[in-house]
Structures are given as C-alpha cells and as structure tokens.
C-alpha cells in the first residue's frame, strides 16, 4: 500500500509541521508554538519567508529589530509560559544567525525551549563562497552556524529536504522533554529550503505534547526519606523546576505539613508567596539574612529543581554543617547528583508528593521552624528600611524597588530583569505573591535581555502588568525591541535606572581591591562624557516617557501611566555605589596573588581566608 504524500518545499514542510504541534493548558487544546520571530535576509527570505507567509493567519510571524532581541523575547515567552509553550526564530546566514548564539547560550543555561532556524550556506556548494559565508581553510563542512553546536541541546544541518522529517521530530522531543529541555538549532541550507519533496501526509498529523511527570526510583526515594527523617535542621531550596513542574501548591503543602523552611533561587523565586510564613526569601550571595542563617546550619538540604549554581550556594561556602546531606530532587541526573548529593530523579510535583507520603507525620523540630520565622521577621524589618522612600538626590536601587512595589506591585504584576546590580537587590527585596510573577534571567545574566524579555513576557501573559527594571548599561546594549512592542501593541512599563555606567561591576572592582576604572563613565578614557537623554531616546521609538527627579515623582509617574496603551519608559537617576547591606554572602571572584597596589594585596588576604570555608567534592 503506497503512502499518501504531499509535495512541498522543505521550508513549507517546516511551517506546516509547526502549525500541527499542540498542547493542553487548563483543559484547552492550544498551539504549542506561540509564533515565529523573523528577520529576513538572502538566506531565508525566499524559502522560509514564503512558507511563513502562507500560514500567517494560523501561526503569526513577528518582525523584530535585532536577532538577539527577538530570540531573547522568544525565550522569555517560553519561561513565562513555564515551558509549556514556546516560539521559533528564523534568520539569514552569517551575522544574522550569529546574533542568536548568545541567546542560544542563555536558553541552554536556563533549560528553556526555543527553536532556532538560521539560514545556512548552499548544500550544493555551486555558488561558494556566497555572501556572508564563513570559509574554513581546513574543513569544507563548517559554516558560521557550527557556533551553535555547544549551546544547543540538539543541532542539525539540513542538507536534503527529507532530512527535516527526523530532525523536526527530534526537535519536538527535546523542546518538550523536562530533563533535556533547551534550545534546538536546525540549520537550514538556503538552497534546500526551496527544494521540493513528497512528504508523507502523516508527518503533518496533529500531535499533542503534554508534560512528562517522572516518578522517583523506589531506592532513591527511600534514601531521601531516610535522610530527611534524621534531619534536625532541614531546609528546602526551591529552584526553577518547581515552577516548570507547576508544583507550587505541592511545595507549600509539603513545607507546612513538615515544618520545613523554604529558601529561593533566582529561578525559583515566586514558587511560594512572599507572604508565606515559611518562605525565607532569597538564598546565597544575594540572599536574605533569614535564608542564609538557616543554610549555614542546615544538616539536610532538599534542593528541588535547582542546578545549584554558585550564587545559590555562596560559591559552596554557605553551608557550614560538616554533616550536611543534599538531596537533589531533579528531572536531570546531571543536576541531581551535584556535590555528592543523594539523587532523586523525578518530577518536582511527583517527588514532593512521594517524599511527603514517606515522611508520614515527620515534622522538623519546632524550635527550628520558630527560629526561621523569627529570622524572617527581622529580615522584613531590614528590607522595609532599605526600600523606604527617600528625598535623596540619587536614590539607591533598593529605594527604587520600593517605589515600584508600592505603586504597581500587585498580584497582576510580572517583574522582569536580568543583569547588573538589580538582580541581587530584587532577589532580596521584591515581594512576589503569584507563581511566575518574578521573571529573572540570571542563569546567564545576559545584559540586554530585559527589554526584549519584557516583550516576550507580555506576549505570553497579555493580561499581566509587565514591569521591566533595567540599568542604563544594559539598556544601551539592546533596547530596539521597544519599537517592536509598539508595532505589536504589546504594552509594558520600563523603569530605567541611570547610574552613569556599570555600577554593579564597579562595586565588584572596588571589593576586590581594584581601582575605579572603565566601569562608571567618569572613570573611562574619554574626551567628553556622554549626556544621554534616555527619555527622548525611547520616545523616538514611540514610547510614552517620563523623567522622574525623585522617588515620589517615580511613584507618581508609575501610577499616572498605569493605563497607557503604549510601552512606557520612566527614567530615574540613581547612586551607583549604594547597595543593601543586610543579607548577602561571599562570592568567589579570584583576586590577583601579586599586585603593586596595597588594596589588591589586602583583598587577596581576605580572599584566601574566605576560600577555607568552601566545600569541595
């Protein structure tokens, strides 16, 4: 019996396939692809561009201003959707494609799904070298797109039209896999995009992808339960996996039933409401005093959906209990066994339920729980002091955060940020009450993510009041998707903190004994210092803008513009040196062993002393 086929170009097959992939959310079947971001060039306009035009009423194509920006927006869409839905991005070859490599790394580190479809050179090689082709003197198979290989969970180069069949099927497996989730790059040779093939009709059958919930191995579960039953001072680290598993209710129930305090990573913040009595807030380098005090004493750490990066662990110097046991509840074995932990490879929701069942009536020592609650009360007093309103000419980041929280920090608000000093302050101080209402890209800490990320979040959560907080340095790196947000009617609010340079790295430079050099604008090699009117710049792209001269003016501007229909940018000048003193922890940043400067030598002495607290192995 012959197989029914349909003759399509390879690019048309890609487009049709994307429209047939579905998922189920809240009982409703919806397309798993939220759209395609595209910047066309000679490597994709004729093939992919024509194919996307034919399905534009089924799968929307969004025109962006910058390839990295659009990929960042697509990744933010996936993160805001808890990885249940995602997007594709297509570019030409050469610089257009390579502009997405940073975004691929961002998605790879954060375990976030995005389908990247860069154009590639001619498979037939007849016109070589084509415009923007990178030629390797020693390997004729290499193109610029090979740069995607180390930052893609799955990479494939399509040199024949029929190869797209297994490649797209494999792509969907990776994009929806809870353990291997991450960026997929399908490098589409530009001549092959236009080549036709008789594709099986069954390739375009509608397919529904739902989350796989991995149940724990019984032996691993027994070991985890036994360790927790012996615990006198247990804590839970809530990572991003709690949110992606949609296990926030289970986390809260587990903590309450067993009296175990919860601390949050950047990715896991909002897994429990800020107001929950057992939520101690952020942990590690940017941690609250409440969380870090508990972490120092903890004898058992249940790390749920966390990759335990150095900011979470205080460069592995935070945990000081010699008998510490770590239980790694994670879908990814690579993360579950870190630092000789007891691996419990399972879905977060399933794992928490099974552990709780095994623990029965176990409850942490009441004095430990009471200590946690007392520590939180002390922290809240310190946090309120840091975020209180001020009349200072140059307020701190914390005081700006307080203003944003008071003016617009409701349950319908989603806060977006990524890099610089703001992530540390927000991790400590922002009061997130709803799952996903705190959207921080800190796995890769990508400067330039913020504005594009705000666009992606708004596309994923159109009813949410999306607030982007960004420093002037990050804004200068990538701000062009303000124009895209105007085009798409995707309104969000940007609070731009101008401290005239890279204030966070300047403080780090000072903290390691370095001289103020090349971070703040005033300390750079210059003939004339730039005087950038950020409000005018954003207005030129179509945004509503305000310049706030004080914290009270900022609050007023935030309230005044809440109902604007266009993206709004509010600028305020801030102090580059002030940071919240309460909380925090040492971070391993190597200081030179030899220097002609006294300050560096003194910093080295402190560094060597701090190293003695690190755990290894």
pLDDT tens digits, 534-579: 999 999 999 999 999 999 999 999 999 999 999 999 999 999 999 9
Residues 199 and 233 placed together within one structural domain of the fold: no
Give me the pLDDT at residue 2, please.
77
Going by C-alpha positions, the residue among 199, 581, 548 that lies closest to residue 428 is: 581
Element spanning 366, H or E:
helix 366-387
CATH number at residue 228: 3.40.50.1220
Where are the alpha helices (H) located in 397-491, listed in sequence order?
Answer: 397-408, 422-429, 449-460, 472-477, 481-488
Which residues span the domain enclosing 322? 218-378
The reply to whether 443 falls in a domain is yes
pLDDT tens digits, 370-386: 999 999 999 999 999 99
CA distance 305 to 245: 9
Task: Give bridge partners of residue 279 from the DSSP assignment.
Answer: 262
CA distance 508 to 144: 35
The alpha carbons of the chain give a radius of gyration, in whole angstroms, of 25
Q: Is the pLDDT of residue 26 over 80?
A: yes
Residues 24 and 166 placed together within one structural domain of the fold: yes
Q: Is the pLDDT of residue 256 over 90?
A: yes
Residues 178 and 253 placed together within one structural domain of the fold: no
Residues 417 and 453 placed together within one structural domain of the fold: yes
The gap from C-alpha 325 to its chain's centroid, in whole angstroms, comes to 28
Q: Is the pLDDT of residue 1 over 70?
A: no
The 3-state DSSP class for residue 562 equals coil
pLDDT tens digits, 144-161: 999 999 999 999 999 999
Q: Is the pLDDT of residue 331 over 80?
A: yes
Last residue within a domain, chosen from 378, 404, 420: 378
519 φ/ψ angles, rounded to the nearest 5 degrees:
-110, -65
Lookup: tokens for 510: 């000072």
Residue-wise over 337-370: b if at least 16 C-beta within 10 A, else e?
bbbebbbbbbbbbbbbbbbbebbeebebeeebbe
Last residue within a domain, chosen from 208, 230, 261: 208
Q: Is the pLDDT of residue 17 over 80?
A: yes
Residues 119 and 260 placed together within one structural domain of the fold: no
Residues 236 and 131 placed together within one structural domain of the fold: no
Residues 348 and 476 placed together within one structural domain of the fold: no
Where does the pLDDT of residue 410 fall: very low under 50, low under 70, confident under 90, or very high at 90 and above?
confident
The reply to whether 615 falls in a domain is no
pLDDT tens digits, 482-525: 999 999 999 999 999 999 999 999 999 999 999 999 999 999 99
Provide, for the chain, the percentages of residues in helix, strand and coil under a 3-state DSSP scheme, each rounded to the nearest 5. Answer: 40, 20, 40
Cα–Cα distances (Å) from 359 to 129, 221, 355, 521, in that order, read: 65, 11, 6, 56
Residues 339 and 238 placed together within one structural domain of the fold: yes
Last residue within a domain, chosen from 163, 185, 208: 208
The reply to whether 46 falls in a domain is yes
The reply to whether 170 falls in a domain is yes
Residues 451 and 558 placed together within one structural domain of the fold: yes
Lookup: tokens for 450: 């913020």
The 3-state DSSP class for residue 301 equals strand
The reply to whether 592 falls in a domain is no
Residues 427 and 310 placed together within one structural domain of the fold: no
Residues 58 and 162 placed together within one structural domain of the fold: yes
Average pLDDT for residues 338-349, to the nearest whole number?
96
The reply to whether 226 falls in a domain is yes
The reply to whether 591 falls in a domain is no
* Number of domains comprising the chain: 3
CATH number at residue 519: 3.40.50.970
pLDDT tens digits, 208-225: 999 999 999 999 999 999
With a pLDDT cut of 90, the percent of the chain lying above it is 98
pLDDT tens digits, 95-145: 999 999 999 999 999 999 999 999 999 999 999 999 999 999 999 999 999
CA distance 134 to 129: 8
The reply to whether 213 falls in a domain is no
pLDDT tens digits, 602-617: 999 999 999 999 998 7
Mean pLDDT of the chain: 97
Average pLDDT for residues 20-37, to the nearest whole number?
97
Residues 339 and 400 placed together within one structural domain of the fold: no
CA distance 261 to 379: 14
pLDDT tens digits, 42-100: 999 999 999 999 999 999 999 999 999 999 999 999 999 999 999 999 999 999 999 99
Instruction: Quote the pTM value.
Output: 0.98
């Amino acid at each position: 019996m012959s197989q029914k086929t349909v003759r399509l170009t390879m690019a048309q097959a890609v487009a049709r396939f994307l429209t047939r992939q579905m998922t189920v959310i809240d009982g409703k079947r919806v397309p798993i692809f939220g759209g395609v971001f595209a910047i066309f060039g000679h490597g994709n306009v004729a093939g992919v561009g024509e194919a996307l035009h034919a399905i534009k009423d089924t799968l929307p194509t969004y025109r962006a201003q910058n390839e990295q920006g659009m990929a960042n927006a697509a990744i933010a869409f996936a993160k805001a959707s808890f990885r249940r839905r995602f997007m594709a991005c297509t570019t030409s070859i050469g610089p257009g494609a390579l502009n997405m490599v940073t975004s691929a790394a961002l998605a790879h580190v954060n375990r976030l799904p995005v389908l990247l479809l860069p154009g590639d050179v001619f498979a037939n090689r007849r016109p070589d070298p084509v415009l923007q082709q990178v030629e390797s003197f020693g390997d004729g198979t290499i193109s610029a797109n090979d740069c995607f290989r180390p930052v893609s969970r799955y990479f494939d180069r399509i040199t024949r039209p029929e190869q797209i069949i297994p490649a797209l099927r494999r792509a969907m497996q990776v994009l929806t896999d809870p353990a291997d989730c991450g960026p997929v790059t399908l490098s589409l040779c530009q001549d092959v995009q236009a080549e036709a093939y008789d594709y099986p009709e069954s390739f375009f059958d509608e397919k529904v992808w739902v989350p796989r919930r991995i149940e724990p191995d019984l032996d691993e579960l027994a070991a985890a339960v036994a360790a927790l039953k012996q615990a006198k001072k247990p804590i839970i680290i809530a990572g991003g996996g709690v949110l992606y598993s949609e296990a926030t209710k289970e986390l809260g129930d587990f903590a309450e039933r067993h009296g175990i305090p919860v601390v949050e990573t950047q990715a896991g913040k909002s897994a429990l409401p800020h107001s929950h009595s057992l939520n101690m807030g952020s942990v590690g380098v940017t941690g609250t005093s409440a969380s870090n005090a508990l972490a120092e004493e903890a004898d058992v750490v249940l790390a749920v959906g966390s990759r335990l990066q150095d900011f979470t662990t205080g460069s592995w110097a935070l945990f000081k209990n010699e008998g510490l046991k770590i239980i790694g509840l994670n879908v990814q074995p690579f993360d579950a066994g870190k630092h000789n932990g007891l691996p419990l490879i399972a879905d977060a929701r399933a794992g928490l339920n099974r552990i709780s069942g095994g623990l029965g009536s176990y409850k942490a020592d009441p004095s430990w729980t009471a200590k946690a609650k007392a520590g939180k009360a002390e922290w809240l007093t310190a946090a309120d002091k840091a975020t209180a309103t001020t009349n200072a000419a140059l307020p701190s980041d914390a005081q700006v955060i307080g203003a944003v929280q008071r003016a617009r920090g409701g349950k319908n608000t989603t806060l977006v940020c990524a890099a610089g000093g703001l992530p540390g302050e927000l991790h400590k101080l922002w009061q997130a009450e709803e799952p996903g209402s705190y959207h921080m890209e800190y796995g890769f800490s990508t400067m330039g993510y913020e504005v594009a990320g705000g666009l992606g979040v708004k596309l994923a959560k159109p009813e949410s009041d999306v607030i982007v907080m960004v420093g002037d340095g990050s804004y200068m790196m990538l701000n062009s998707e303000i124009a895209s947000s105007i085009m798409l009617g995707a309104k969000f609010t940007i609070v731009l903190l101008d401290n005239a340079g890279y204030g966070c790295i300047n403080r780090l430079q000072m903290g390691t004994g370095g001289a103020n050099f090349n971070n703040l604008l005033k300390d750079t090699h210059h003939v004339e210092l730039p005087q950038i009117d950020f409000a005018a710049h954003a207005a030129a792209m179509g945004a509503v803008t305000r310049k706030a001269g004080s914290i009270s003016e900022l609050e007023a501007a935030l309230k005044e513009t809440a109902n604007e229909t266009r993206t709004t940018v509010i600028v305020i000048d801030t102090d580059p040196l002030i940071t919240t003193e309460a909380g925090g922890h040492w971070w391993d940043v190597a200081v030179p062993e030899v220097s002609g400067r006294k300050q560096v030598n003194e910093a080295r002495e402190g560094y060597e002393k701090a190293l003695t607290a690190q755990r290894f192995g």
